Amino acid sequence: MPQRRNCAPTPGPLPGADRLLILDCRVEQRRGRGARGRRRRRVPVHPRRNPRAARALLGLGIGGFWAIAVGVGTRLVPERFGPRATSLIFGGISIGTVVGVPAGPLLGHQFGWRAAFFIVAALDLIPVILQAVFLPRLSVAKAVTLRSLGALLRNSRARVALAMTLLTITAQFSAYTFVAPFLQQRTGAGPTLISTLLLVFAAAGILGNFATAAALTKALRPTVLGVLAALALSQLLMPVLGPWTPGAFIVLAIWGLTYGGVPVALQTWLFHSDPEAANENGSGMFVATFQSSIAVGSLLGAVMVYASGTRTAMYAGAALATAALALTAFVAQRAGAQTPADAEGA
């Protein structure tokens, strides 16, 4: 008499043999239609919960935050302080990223991953309370519709600004996504040194964010051109100086300082090139272009790495950043995106 299979749920991680047993049970349930097969068999379900719904809600929250946060600064202060307000927002995001990345694993290690999520959720209530107490109510400047987005894209200056964003962010992430593998393979860096170098990049980015905002209020076009030129140069120098540890420190510090100013520079250019974009439509389109470019850049970098290694990803990023620089210097000049300071100096 054949031995009866035990199809009861098994708590905890399932070894390979138990997984095969569960698979057999499911197949038997589908096939069994005899006298004994008519009885409904219990199919075990792995006790691990599906986090997709939570991730979807988190994604909606992050997307809504980016669409609103990057443009609200210019509405809270006078126009001349717009770049500075935007830089404060991006600076806060950068500082939160630098602090949050190591803080999350630390909390999880000390209190468990569930407690870490509860602690972060409690901290999230602090800005909600501060916003309700200190910030004024802001009405929607212009409703976001497909027609309004189409009107934004029909403006040549806005299209140039969005094309600049697409090229620049694609350049950044086609290279930066593979900085850690580059440091491991080419520089011979271990985990501690890689973490230190990436921390240098992040800290320099915070400084670059505020420095760029201060420069944008005085001269928009030269500042944006300088940021893009430095971004292309740092990515170009990474394969050359990066294999040398002090060279990697220098290049990543310059790269981080430069990229820290990229988001505020690109958004300020968009809002000044087309004043009609300084609302929810412009912010939403900017964020959509920015986030899509991250995905495109990461994919392009992966293709380059798979084809011929991490050095090629750095060169691809430098080439795209150079294209963004050329677009800004030649095409955008005819679009006439400039600050009052630029106009006075012309």
Q: What is the pLDDT of residue 266?
A: 93
Specify the pTM. Answer: 0.74
243 or 345, higher pLDDT: 243
Say what the pLDDT of residue 78 is: 83
- Mean pLDDT over 38-49 rounds to 48
pLDDT, position 143: 67
Closest CA to 216 of 227, 205, 206: 227
More confident residue, 255 or 105: 255
Render 255-294 in DSSP notation, one character per residue: HHHHHHTHHHHHHHHHHHH-GGGSSHHHHHHHHHHHHHHH
Digit-coded pLDDT (tens) for 300-319: 999 999 999 999 999 999 99
The per-residue pLDDT for range 175-224, each reduced to its tens digit, is 999 999 999 999 999 988 998 999 899 999 999 999 998 898 888 889 99
Please, which residues have CB within 8 angstroms of residue 37's CB and are 6 or more apart in sequence? 28, 31
pLDDT value of residue 24: 42
Question: 270-304 b/e with 16+ CB inside 10 Å = b?
Answer: bbbbbeebbbbbbbbbbbbbbeebbeebbebbeeb
pLDDT of residue 278: 63
* Residue pair 235/317 in contact by the 8 Å Cβ criterion: yes
Residues 99-126, mean pLDDT to the nearest whole number: 85
**Smallest Cα–Cα separation from 177: which of 306, 338, 286, 39?**
306
